[in-house]
């Protein structure tokens, strides 16, 4: 079954605390992504990972870092969370890169509230 | 700069049709995708187009005009369950991020009985 799984689904943190969002996929996809989605805004790319330890910044990487030590796992880390990082975070994967016709498979999202 | 624009809302009646528009202005073009996103759920892939013209996929059809930077998603024989947000995403031949997808803000379609 093709699936992208995100944990946790819901999280409340205090400003300044560290946050770890985890993502797994069972499709052996090379490429994985972290997006955030805010009301009235489109999906914004935070980081992209082309394979293990091969990560690149997206459009809004400031305040975030990522880790990919196994092909099936991709983590998003917020060191010292800020209130403006309150958002819904989506992980996605695709078989190769974002090549012609390639489909992104999304997880169900992780809703983070920073107070 | 990179821009993908969609109307925020669209309303239509069950049994009729709805056309969700998308205009884009990007540095290069390597195709356009449409995703459906229900409230509180993940986006789900619907369609991909890279050549001009209409691509008929039954309930969902997609049109593209590259010279006008324009696409639409056409939903026919609407059902209440088609109520969702529809996201347009343009793929560009990126430099820093290879083949980056730029998403529009999405169009929330409400289908009424």
Supply the pLDDT for residue A68: 97
Contacts of A42 in chain B (CB under 8 A): 4, 87, 102-106
Residue A8: asked if its preceding bond is cis (omega within 30°), the reply is yes
Least Cα distance to B42 among A22, A103, A109 occurs for A109
Question: What percentage of residues in chain A have a pLDDT greater than 70?
Answer: 94
CA B44, distance to chain mean position in Å, is 12
Supply the pLDDT for residue B2: 64
Supply the pLDDT for residue B36: 97
Distance CA B106, CA A90 (A): 15
Model confidence pLDDT, tens digit, residues B59-108: 999 999 999 999 999 999 999 999 999 999 998 776 555 567 889 999 99
Select from B30, B97, B103 the Cβ nearest to the Cβ of A42: B103
CA nearest B36 in A: which residue? Answer: A106
Q: What angle do CA B22, A35, B40 make, to 5 degrees?
A: 75
Supply the pLDDT for residue A105: 92
B70 CB neighbour count, 10 Å cutoff: 14
Structure tokens given for A77: 């880390």
Supply the pLDDT for residue A100: 54
Three-state SS string over chain B comes to CCEEECCCEEEEECCCCEEEEEEEECCCCCCEEEEEECCCCCCEEEEEECCCEEEEECCEEEEEEHHHCEEEEEECCCCHHHCEEEEEEEECCCCCCCCCEEECCCEEEEEEC
- Which residues 44-73 of chain A have a CB within 8 Å of chain B? 44-45, 48, 50, 56-58
Model confidence pLDDT, tens digit, residues A40-94: 888 999 999 989 999 999 989 999 999 999 999 999 999 999 999 999 999 999 8
Over 60: is that where the pLDDT of B3 sits?
yes
Over 80: is that where the pLDDT of B55 sits?
yes
CA nearest A37 in B: which residue? Answer: B105
Question: What percentage of residues in chain B have a pLDDT greater than 70?
Answer: 93
Q: What angle do CA A76, A36, A41 make, to 5 degrees?
A: 170
């Amino acid at each position: 079954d093709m699936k992208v799984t995100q944990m946790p689904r819901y999280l409340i943190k205090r400003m300044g605390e560290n946050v770890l969002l985890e993502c797994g996929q069972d499709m052996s996809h090379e490429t994985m992504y972290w997006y955030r989605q805010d009301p009235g805004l489109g999906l914004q790319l935070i980081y992209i990972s082309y394979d293990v330890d091969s990560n690149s910044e997206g459009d809004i990487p400031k305040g975030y870092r990522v880790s990919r030590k196994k092909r099936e796992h991709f983590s998003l880390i917020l060191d010292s969370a800020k209130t403006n990082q309150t958002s819904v975070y989506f992980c996605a994967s695709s078989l190769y890169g974002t090549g012609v016709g390639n489909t992104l498979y999304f997880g169900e999202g992780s809703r983070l509230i920073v107070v | 700069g990179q821009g993908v624009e969609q109307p925020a809302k669209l309303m239509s009646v069950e049994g009729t049709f709805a056309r969700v528009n998308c205009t884009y202005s990007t540095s290069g073009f390597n195709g356009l995708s449409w995703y459906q996103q229900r409230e509180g759920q993940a986006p789900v892939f619907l369609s991909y187009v890279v050549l001009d013209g209409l691509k008929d996929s039954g309930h969902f059809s997609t049109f593209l005009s590259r010279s006008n930077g324009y696409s639409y998603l056409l939903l026919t024989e609407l059902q209440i369950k088609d109520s969702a947000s529809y996201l347009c995403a343009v793929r560009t031949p990126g430099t820093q991020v290879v083949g980056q997808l730029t998403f529009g803000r999405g169009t929330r379609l409400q289908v009424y009985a």
